[in-house]
Amino acid sequence: MRVLIVGIDGYLGWPLAQHLAERGHEVGGLDAFLRREWVDEVGGTSAIPISDFVDRRGRFRERWGKEMFFREANLVDWEVTSETIQTFQPDALVHLGECPSAPFSMIDVHHCNLVHTNNVIGTLNILHALRDFAPDCHLIKLGTMGEYGTPKMPIPEGFAEFEYRGYRDHLPFPRQAGSWYHWSKVHDSNNVMFACRVWGLRSTDIMQGVVYGTRIDAMGEDPRSWTRLDFDQCFGTAINRFCCQTLIGEPMTLFGRGYQKRGFLPLRDSIQCMTLVVENPPEPGHYRVFNQFEEAYTIAELAERVRRVAIRLGLTPKIRHIENPRIEAEEHFYEPEHQGLLDLGYQPTRDMESEIATMLRDLEPNVDRVMSFKNTLVPDIRWRGGRDRCSFVD
Amino acid sequence: MRVLIVGIDGYLGWPLAQHLAERGHEVGGLDAFLRREWVDEVGGTSAIPISDFVDRRGRFRERWGKEMFFREANLVDWEVTSETIQTFQPDALVHLGECPSAPFSMIDVHHCNLVHTNNVIGTLNILHALRDFAPDCHLIKLGTMGEYGTPKMPIPEGFAEFEYRGYRDHLPFPRQAGSWYHWSKVHDSNNVMFACRVWGLRSTDIMQGVVYGTRIDAMGEDPRSWTRLDFDQCFGTAINRFCCQTLIGEPMTLFGRGYQKRGFLPLRDSIQCMTLVVENPPEPGHYRVFNQFEEAYTIAELAERVRRVAIRLGLTPKIRHIENPRIEAEEHFYEPEHQGLLDLGYQPTRDMESEIATMLRDLEPNVDRVMSFKNTLVPDIRWRGGRDRCSFVD
């Protein structure tokens, strides 16, 4: 299949490109390298050193014997976005081109508006371009489990049969996001659902959990094939940040009580699931939602797992609680359903500890990099507004 | 109270300013005159001739003996928007500054993006400015009944108690909007709800039905106090358009079967309700939703009422069906609740036919204006994309 990966230079995009190429798909890409720019802006860096995209394309050419189709383009630019889709004529478009950071969107009005513009206008441009130039293409859009928030009931995959005053209807499950970033993803989910309804586009909207890990098999040992791993307060996610903290002897920091529960999955599972979705498109006009994660854990459980693995590797992990910069429930019901991908054939890795061990080993040569950027590990972006470094509370 | 009306130069904004001033409130305004620009762009005009805003302010000065605070500003400009709120220090801000047209948003990608940017970024700027400079101010935001779509159950006011797999929770009622415009309003409702939760802002989100009519009592006979009345395919709403069609001897055009049901209210009821909301703010941190309309009717019923009144006034009304340019259910369940405003004291006019008669009389001197713009009455903006003039189907 011809697969266009929007955001091909990112944490998920680059491994996905390699995995799909390995499986014989014709991979094309689009990126404006904004993730690199944003991580720079917040003072972070990738713990794993990553090549520039010219070298990545060189690696791709060497390994799979062909030039990769690529456009450097900002999604908010209609002309280039639509030209890319018209020219490449994808069978599937994987949209990883959204700004993925909740804290980044909460910095101030400018970042909130930037995230909204990048995500919402970018997605609207993709939808219009698909309608005009590739109406049969399957759009795989990355949403987030965070769109749902933490309702006091199980979370279905996108839709539920509800009853109200004796009437019943099959309705979109209400969203209760927890940051401007998460809301921008809700807006995008709604817009994609609408485009499928009025224009007959087909889409899979993936409500993904938090991804962790450094590796998939298709990468091998060439450094040009490695993917980024962020650990700053904006772009670093829980397990990745815990591993970096542990590696440099800093405590893993739990926000508040640490009983917040979320869905998690290793990088290899995320790539496996997206590939299954690419290879199993829905019918034209169908808008399909999958909750994509392996298992739900509390943040405290995750830190405990990192601690266990780190001890086995001879490290001296610590866990501490800090003020919660977010406004969120710190202990809550959480039972999201996730059957759709299993039905498509998803085989969960189910070995978080060996993933964590791999990650710690991959990070080990980069201790100095992490150490020089350790200031970005402790959050100071507050949900209520303003910046104020969080203190330890234990 | 100090009330800042954003979009004060519009169909609702200008009457509301006069009604609030008449009741002794200190009225301020902000507008970028985009509505005038957009109506020009689509080739329309106001059937009722309206003064420019300098003359409107002159009228305001004469009638209420004081200069009105005003800023010419585009809401997407953070600097001017926040400066306006900081300077005026409103107790209430009525946000009428959104682009209100479904067909306008469906023209092409550029109009879709313009509507999203104007509405979503504009509202985000207001929310941040309130947080930073007027956190106790009550935000009255105009949403639309169209956010809900037409579910197969009664529509509550914003929230409902739902049951799923034996669990119960009080959740936002799912939205199923029918155009890019309507979705942009959903995005704004979600963003306002979130700002109330994390920043403790207070807001009333008004899901308004379709407004019709030319008059409120506070206007009097000075032409500078009159408000616009649009009849083009983008900015003209059902009853207003039917009256203009009837006046020039053109048939009232029902889209498709004409059994689409919507909530409607006369201009004077809209102004009465918004005033009640302004004068009865919710508690800090509270996000309150009202469904604001007088009664629900099918489009066919409305045309029939206009026909009856027009015959009494000696006109020769006709009703015809044309192709539906929209993608929507043309016959459906529709039972939205609307108790909240009645509880606050709303007294519905309940006399649609005398409102229609007043409207036809107000429009009568402007037959030639309507006649010269009659081409804009028949829709050619198609929901599926492209432009193609709709044909009669009867």
Residues of B in contact with A151 (CB under 8 A): 169, 171
Specify which residues B31 forms β-bridges with: B72
Mean pLDDT of the region A101-114: 98
Interchain contact, B187 vs A108, CB within 8 Å: no
Helix (H) or strand (E) holding B301: helix B299-312
Q: What is the pLDDT of residues A363-378, one digit of tens each?
A: 999 999 999 999 999 9
Interchain contact, A109 vs B128, CB within 8 Å: yes
Interchain contact, A172 vs B174, CB within 8 Å: yes
Kindly name the residue from A181, A297, A334, A346 that is annotated as catalytic: A181
Residue of chain A with shortest Cα separation from B175: A172
Interchain contact, A163 vs B165, CB within 8 Å: no
Q: How high is the pLDDT of residue B82? A: 98
Both tokens of B239, joined, read 């009853």
pLDDT band at A384 (very low <50, low <70, confident <90, very high): very high
Q: What is the pLDDT of residues A224-259, one digit of tens each?
A: 999 999 999 999 999 999 999 999 999 999 999 999
Specify which residues B295 forms β-bridges with: B264
What is the overall mean pLDDT for chain A? 97
Min Cα distance A234 → chain B (Å) is 19
Residues of B in contact with A284 (CB under 8 A): none
* Structural domain includes residue A284: yes
Residues of B in contact with A183 (CB under 8 A): 187, 190-191, 194
Interchain contact, B112 vs A131, CB within 8 Å: no
Both tokens of A284, joined, read 């034209």
Q: How high is the pLDDT of residue A319? A: 98
Burial (CB count within 10 angstroms: exposed 0-12, middle 13-18, buried 19+), residue A305:
middle
Residue of chain A with shortest Cα separation from B126: A109
* Structural domain includes residue B30: yes
Kindly name the residue from A185, A204, A227, A275 that is annotated as catalytic: A185
Helix (H) or strand (E) holding A202: strand A202-208
Interchain contact, B113 vs A124, CB within 8 Å: yes
Residues of B in contact with A74 (CB under 8 A): none
Q: What is the pLDDT of residues B212-224, one digit of tens each?
A: 999 999 998 999 9
Interchain contact, B109 vs A116, CB within 8 Å: no
* Structural domain includes residue A247: no
Report the sign of the C-alpha dihedral through residues A297, A303, A307, A313, in that order: positive
Q: How high is the pLDDT of residue A31? A: 98
* Structural domain includes residue A51: yes
Query: Is the CB of residue B196 less than 8 Å from the CB of residue B243?
Result: no
Q: Which residues of B are catalytic?
A: 144, 181, 185
Min Cα distance B337 → chain A (Å) is 11
Please calculate the CA angle B352-B357-B359 and round it to the nearest 5 degrees.
Answer: 95
Interchain contact, A172 vs B167, CB within 8 Å: no
Q: How many domains does chain B have?
A: 1
Residue of chain B with shortest Cα separation from A120: B116
Residue to mutate among B120, B155, B179, B332, with most A CBs inside 10 A, is B120
CA distance linking residue A250 with residue A236, whole number of Å: 15
The CATH number of whichever domain residue A57 belongs to comes to 3.40.50.720
- The single residue listed with the structure tokens 């006369």 is B266
CA distance linking residue B243 with residue A343, whole number of Å: 56
Interchain contact, B198 vs A327, CB within 8 Å: yes
Q: How high is the pLDDT of residue A244? A: 97
Interchain contact, B174 vs A177, CB within 8 Å: no
Please report the number of interchain residue pairs, chain A to chain B, with beta-carbon separation below 8 angstroms.
141
Specify which residues B205 forms β-bridges with: B141, B289
Residue of chain A with shortest Cα separation from B174: A174
- Nearest CB to B109: which of A78, A177, A384? A78
pLDDT band at A7 (very low <50, low <70, confident <90, very high): very high
Residue of chain B with shortest Cα separation from A155: B164
The model carries a pTM of: 0.98
Min Cα distance B26 → chain A (Å) is 28
Question: Tell me, what amino acid is at A126?
Answer: I
Residue to mutate among B171, B182, B332, with most A CBs inside 10 A, is B171
| Tens of each residue's pLDDT in chain B, 394 residues | 999 999 999 999 999 999 999 999 999 999 999 999 999 999 999 999 999 999 999 999 999 999 999 999 999 999 999 999 999 999 999 999 999 999 999 999 999 999 999 999 999 999 999 999 999 999 999 999 999 999 999 999 999 999 999 999 999 999 999 999 999 999 999 999 999 999 999 999 999 999 999 999 999 899 999 999 999 999 999 999 999 999 999 999 999 999 999 999 999 999 999 999 999 999 999 999 999 999 999 999 999 999 999 999 999 999 999 999 999 999 999 999 999 999 999 999 989 999 999 999 999 999 999 999 999 999 999 999 999 999 999 9
Min Cα distance B123 → chain A (Å) is 10
- Nearest CB to A198: which of B163, B168, B327? B327
Length of chain B (residues): 394
Query: Is the CB of residue B390 less than 8 Å from the CB of residue B322?
Result: yes
A181 is catalytic: yes
Interchain contact, B153 vs A131, CB within 8 Å: no
DSSP 3-state assignment of B1? Answer: coil
- Nearest CB to B153: which of A129, A164, A198? A164
Residue of chain B with shortest Cα separation from A161: B164
- State the DSSP code for B117: I
Pairing mode of beta strands B138-144, A159-164: unpaired
**B13-22 vs B53-64: helix crossing angle, rounded to 10:** 10
Residue of chain A with shortest Cα separation from B76: A113
Interchain contact, B165 vs A173, CB within 8 Å: no
A66 is catalytic: no
CA distance linking residue A70 with residue A17, whole number of Å: 12
Question: Tell me, what amino acid is at A149?
Answer: G
- Nearest CB to B116: which of A82, A110, A121? A121
Interchain contact, A199 vs B154, CB within 8 Å: no
Pairing mode of beta strands A319-322, A202-208: unpaired
Q: How high is the pLDDT of residue B382? A: 98
Give how far Cα B58 sits from Cα of B62, B88, B223, Å: 6, 20, 12
Query: Is the CB of residue B6 less than 8 Å from the CB of residue B126?
Result: yes
Q: How high is the pLDDT of residue B339? A: 97
Q: How high is the pLDDT of residue B383? A: 98
Q: How high is the pLDDT of residue B167? A: 97
Q: What is the pLDDT of residues A330-358, one digit of tens each?
A: 999 999 999 999 999 999 998 999 999 99
Kindly name the residue from A144, A237, A246, A253 that is annotated as catalytic: A144
Domain containing B83 equals 2-235+264-295+335-349
